[in-house]
Structures are given as C-alpha cells and as structure tokens.
Structure 1
C-alpha cells in the first residue's frame, strides 16, 4: 500500500493504567516473568497526533525534561508506526506529536499508551484498515501493556500481561494518584524482586510460572464496591519498588491517614495509587496530600482504550 488517507491529521487519545492486582511468577529462561494481573484504564491520557510525512519523525510535549523521552526507535510510538507500516506494506512516513500527561517511567504504561495511540492513528491516517485482532497482534509485539492500552476498560492479563480477557467491573472507581519527578526503571525493579526472592531462598519456580488472579479481586470488581476492592489490592513488585524508594511506603501511609481506603504502588512504580470511597472522599484526600506538599491527581476508572478524538 502506498497511498495515505486524505486526512490532514488524526488525533488519538489513550489512557494510562493501574494494576489493581499484580502477581509476578519466577523469571523464565528468556528473562521474562509470568504475570497474572488486573489492569484498569484510568482518566489520565496520552494524546498522539499523526500527520502525513515522507519519513518518520517524533516530537514530545508536556515533559519537564525532554531527555527522558527518546525520539528515535527506542520510543514505543515510533516503533509502533514503523511496525504498522511494515505490516501494511506502506511506503510513506508519519510525523508524530505526543502530548504527555501520564508520568514518564511512573508504572502507569504511558509509553504503551503512546504506542497504542500511534497504531490507531497511523491505521486511520494511512487508511490501512487493519482489523482489531491484527492491531492487537502488533501491539503484543511491542510490549505487554500495549494491547491493554488499545482496549482499555478492566481486563485480566496473563502470560507477560499481553493475553487479555475482559473483566466485569461495575460502576466507577475513584483514585488519587501521587506522581513523582523521579522515575523508576522497570527492569531494575524486576531485578530487585528477583534478588530479594533469592535472598529469601525462593526457587526459580516459587512462585509458580503460571499464575491466576485471586477470585476475591474479580468479585470485588463485579460488585463495584470500593471497600471490597481495597482489601484485595496487591502488587508483588511493591516490596522491590519500596526497597528502591522507601518514600513510596510513606506516601501510601500518608494517603490512608488522609482518608483513602487503601493504596498501592502502580506497576513497577513510582506512582502511588490510592483507592477512595467516592468522588468527595477523593477530593478530600487530594486536598490533604496537596497541603502536605505532594502532587496528587484525582482520576477515575475504568475508561475506554485508544480512541480517535476531534
């Protein structure tokens, strides 16, 4: 295919995510870990604008330190655009603009949201017309969180997190996020988890290589009761993340004292997600944390995945 669509640009918005449950199995020979997780997409978004171009280029806006976001093939959005072009036999390019709101290296899948948005935007811009299943297949080749950013909502992820099954989540859950100016390296956090398990004498298959999400987590989501979900929040990476950043545990404790039901490190961190009883409770928690000098955000979930807007 060599003809792009006539659109001057395509604007796609994709959400960040919280792992309301994250179980991590032993490290496989390929270096990856088996996961059992529940993703929830929340109302903190990445915006990607795709414009016709002869070659591939990328600009990023909304970050304090531009050096934290690569503009070459290390960027998932750039890789997504080139992967789609190769899959569709498209011989043109695209100028991508990313407007970031999800914290960089914050454990909320911001780069994965960029990649999902780039796939949807380029598919529309170029008129490639790939099926949802084909886009999902390409997304899975880019990273474990990218397929979820395509679909959004609430989902159970297994394998590396890329094998998705929708999870029924009634109602709306209110979260207060506490972001950090200093990111955490996902490989470093997984490496710390492996080291901690070795120190404790854990075997390579303990925890097991295949995992399941506990039934109480799924029941809490189905009930729509924030209190039930609060008692089920869990993240195997949290101990490792706190080992790297002890202040994260203090932030969770501060949030609970401010009235949150419970808190968790999001993914590999360092963003802390505090689950609240409702919108007013979330606003109270947000205000208390802001007065303490933190930078809290009030979001809700679940929300849809990557969508064309405007």
Structure 2
C-alpha cells in the first residue's frame, strides 16, 4: 500500500456495452453455457464517485429510474469494493455515489460497469495499487461482463465472456438504442434459449460446446465498415428474448424501416441497438423513433474502459 497522501474522493467513469455478435454454446453439466461474443464499449457512461468511509454504502442518481436498485450488500458495486478490501487486507470502507445512464436490466452491462468502476475507484482511493491483471482477475469473479467494462474498446470474449482478447476496430460506429420501460432477467432468457433449442431440435443444428466468433465480424470491425458489420451482426439470445417479449420485434422493424442498417437485441435484452451508417443517419433515426414514442439515446463506439477522471 502506498505511503503517499490518499485522495479525499475519486471519480471513475465506465462504459456500457453491446454485443455486436453473440453465439451461445450448448448447456453444460454445471448449468452454464460458454459463449463467443464481440463486445463494443459505447459512450453511455456510469459515473462512480468514491469517498472514504468506515463501512460500505451506495447511493444512486442519474438519467434513469434507479428506485428498484438494491443498495445493500447484494449490489454489484458494493460486492466489488468488499472483494478488493478483502484481497488487499484493507480495513476501512467506502461510500459510493453512482450516476447511472446505462439502462438497468437492459442487456448493456450497467451493473458490470458499476462494479468495474468501483474496483478502479477503491484501488485509487485506498492506495492499494493492484495491477491491471489483478483487477481483471477480481472483475472475473464478479461477473462475465465486468472484465470488459474494465478494458473497454472492442474485444472478443470467450468462456463465460470474461476471457478477453482485443479486437481491432477502425474508426467510429454510430448506434441508436431504443430503451424499454421494463427489464429482462438474463437467466430467464438463457432458460428460454434452451427451451427454444429443444422445441426446434429437428430444424436447427445442435449448439457447439465451444462457440467461436465468425471471421466476417472481425473483418467488418477491422475495416470500420458499418454496412459490412450490419450484415453479420448476430445474437443467439434474440429469438428467446423476442419469444418472451414479442413487442421487441416491432421495435426492430420500426428502426429498420427508418433507416437503420440493422437492429439487434442487446445481450439478453430488452434494449434494442440500431447501427446507423453515419452521424446524420443516427440523428434522423433518433428523431423518427422518438416520434414513435420510444425512449432513445444515441452513442458511439468504441470507447475506453473504466478510467479515473
């Protein structure tokens, strides 16, 4: 632990994400699935401020309704802070103030961003000075998407999604997100995927135990070509999400009718991500979807991961 004077507060910003590609492997004996995904961090951010305290607490503000969020020990940011304190043998606590802008239970990794930001904030506040690899190891213990929120950019995730390798992505991609006024349970969407595969066992190929990301996705990202990426975006969780929430299909149709190159359910849903050709197309799409009484936000990617501001 550093002997230098410690800061009285730390502000860390971490991004939300979308999965531009998500293949889900077969159901394993432990009840989980391996995945192969292409993540992109986008410019919707969670701002986490950390202050010294004797115990652990968290409070929320921001542009979205946070009334349903737990503020006890089950909160992922609190879990992250406690885990770091335990590993670093730090005896104090922290007060976390989180300004939320990433949809809750929306398939965009907002809780994971909070956890990644809490790790970086507490590491700085407490002077524990864990290396990036150690923080990554702690992040992986907290959830599959937390390591990516730490690194940001564009990356390929395998295993549970936490085994990351960077992917080259040229230029900037323009996204418009249609936000739902309800959340979806990730475990429930995965269960529906398993049921979907059983129902259609005769029509679809059996899932691989170790899925991979299609090379066409990597080529599109490397080329920075939005039209090319639109052709190859894919999400295995989309069919089960649409089965559970059929109204999402109309949202995708609406976006594509109004100029989106492609629409895709983000992660396990219910947020729908639309890829636009350029900034002007993204603005036009945002206006059209807003006129249709949808809640929409515009963002770009890739952006960096959790960083001290």
In the other structure, the counterpart of 1:103 is: 103
Shift of 1:65: 4.6
In the alignment, which residue of structure 1 is the partner of 2:83? Answer: 83
The verdict on how the C-alpha distance between 1:65 and 1:277 changes in structure 2, with shifts beyond 3 A counting, is closer
Q: Please state how far the C-alpha of 1:66 moved relative to its aligned partner.
A: 3.8
Match of 1:275 in 2: 275
The yes-or-no answer on 1:295 pairing with 2:299 is no
- Taking the aligned partners of 1:238 and 1:163, their CA distance within structure 2 comes to 23
**Partner SS for 2:290:** helix
Q: CA deviation at 1:5?
A: 5.2
Residue 97 (structure 1) shift: 0.8
The 5 Å alignment of 1:132-211 reads 132-201=132-201, 206-211=206-211
Equivalent pairs counted in the alignment come to 308
Structure 1 counterpart SS, 2:232 = coil
Structure 1 position 14 matched with structure 2 position 10: no
CA contact (8 A) 1:2 1:90 kept: no
Q: Could you say what secondary structure the match of 1:305 adopts?
A: coil
Contact 1:73 1:79 in 2 (8 A): yes
Deviations 1:183-221 (A, max 9, x none): 11111101111111112237xx93011011000000000
Q: How does 1:209-220 map to 2 (within 5 A)?
A: 209-220=209-220
Determine the structure 1 residue equivalent to 2:124. 124
Check conservation: 2:64, 2:101, Cα contact below 8 A. Answer: no
| Residues 194, 4 of structure 1: alpha-carbon distance in 2 compared, 3 angstrom cutoff | farther
- List runs of 5+ in structure 1 lacking aligned partners: none
Q: CA offsets, 1:196-248, max 9 Å, x none?
A: 1112237xx93011011000000000010100000010000000100111111
Match for residue 62 of structure 2?
A: 62
Cα drift, residue 67 of structure 1: 4.0
Cα distance in 2 between the residues matched to 1:284 and 1:198: 41
Deviation track 1:237-270 (CA, whole Å, cap 9, x = no partner) reads 0001001111111111100111010010000000
Q: Contact conserved, 2:16 with 2:108, CA < 8 A, in 1?
A: yes
In the other structure, the counterpart of 1:226 is 226
C-alpha separation in 2, matches of 1:63 and 1:291: 20
**3-state SS in 1 of match to 2:300:** strand
Distance 1:5 1:178, change over 3 A: farther
| TM-score normalised per structure 1 | 0.96
Give the 3-state SS of the residue equivalent to 1:231 in structure 2. helix
Root-mean-square deviation (Å): 1.7
1:64-109 per-residue CA deviation (whole Å, 9 max, x = no partner) reads 6544211112111000000000010101000011110000000000
Which region of structure 1 is more displaced relative to structure 2, 190-199 or 235-244? 190-199
Deviation at residue 3 of structure 1 after TM alignment: 8.0
3-state secondary structure, aligned to 1:29? coil
Aligned-partner Cα distance in 1 for 2:232–2:303: 21
Q: Give, in whole Å, the separation in 2 of the partners of 1:21 and 1:40.
A: 10
Q: In structure 2, what is the Cα distance between the partners aligned to 1:158 and 1:177?
A: 25
| Structure 2 residue ranges without an equivalent (≥5) | none
- Alpha-carbon distance in structure 2 between the residues aligned to 1:196 and 1:247: 18
